[in-house]
């Protein structure tokens, strides 16, 4: 299962869907993966919103058991095509590309993912 940025941020910032996101991460712990593009997106937002807690939050994320996967050329092409086909931002395009490459669903809180041609787990 590909973890979208929105799930991690909801958990770390105590947003409305944090409990649901944490439950999904626990239920799918053995199969979690995230694009390193999305990892970058999370780290930027954590540093922006929680600068004093950033080192702790970064370490927590990096040791969470999520497998972080850098995009390859095929994923870059898939992400570029997704940007033209769907209402996705750059990070979302790479979550989509990883889901296509790994043939697995995307765990997200982002309604924009509902229009994709891959399985999506959303509350």
The architecture that CATH gives domain 2-115 is 3-Layer(aba) Sandwich (3.40)
Say what the pLDDT of residue 48 is: 97
Which alpha helices (DSSP H) does the chain contain, by range? 5-12, 18-27, 36-49, 54-62, 73-85, 90-102
Question: Is the sign of the CA dihedral 78, 83, 88, 94 positive or negative?
Answer: positive
> Which residue, 85, 112, 108, 86, is CA-closest to 2?
108
Say what the pLDDT of residue 13 is: 96
Say what the pLDDT of residue 99 is: 98
Say what the pLDDT of residue 22 is: 97
Model pLDDT for residues 22-56, shown as the tens digit of each residue: 999 999 999 999 999 999 999 999 999 999 999 99
- Tell me the sheet residues that pair with 120: 106
What pTM does this model have? 0.94
Joined together, the tokens standing for residue 112 give 């924009």
Say what the pLDDT of residue 32 is: 98
Say what the pLDDT of residue 34 is: 98
Q: What residues does each domain of the chain span?
A: 2-115
120-121 vs 106-107, strand pairing mode: parallel
The parts of the chain modelled with pLDDT lower than 70 are none
Say what the pLDDT of residue 87 is: 85
Say what the pLDDT of residue 103 is: 97
Joined together, the tokens standing for residue 97 give 């590309």
């Amino acid at each position: 299962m590909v973890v979208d940025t929105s799930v991690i941020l909801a958990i770390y910032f105590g947003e409305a869907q944090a409990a649901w996101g944490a439950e999904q991460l626990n239920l799918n712990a053995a199969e979690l993966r995230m694009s390193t593009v999305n990892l970058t997106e999370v780290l930027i937002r954590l540093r922006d919103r929680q600068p004093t807690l950033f080192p702790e939050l970064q370490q927590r994320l990096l040791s969470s058991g999520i497998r972080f996967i850098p995009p390859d050329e095929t994923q870059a092409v898939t992400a570029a095509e997704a940007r033209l086909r769907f209402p996705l931002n750059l990070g979302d395009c790479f979550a989509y590309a990883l889901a296509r490459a790994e043939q697995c669903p995307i765990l997200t809180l982002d309604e924009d993912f509902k229009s994709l041609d891959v399985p999506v787990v959303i509350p």
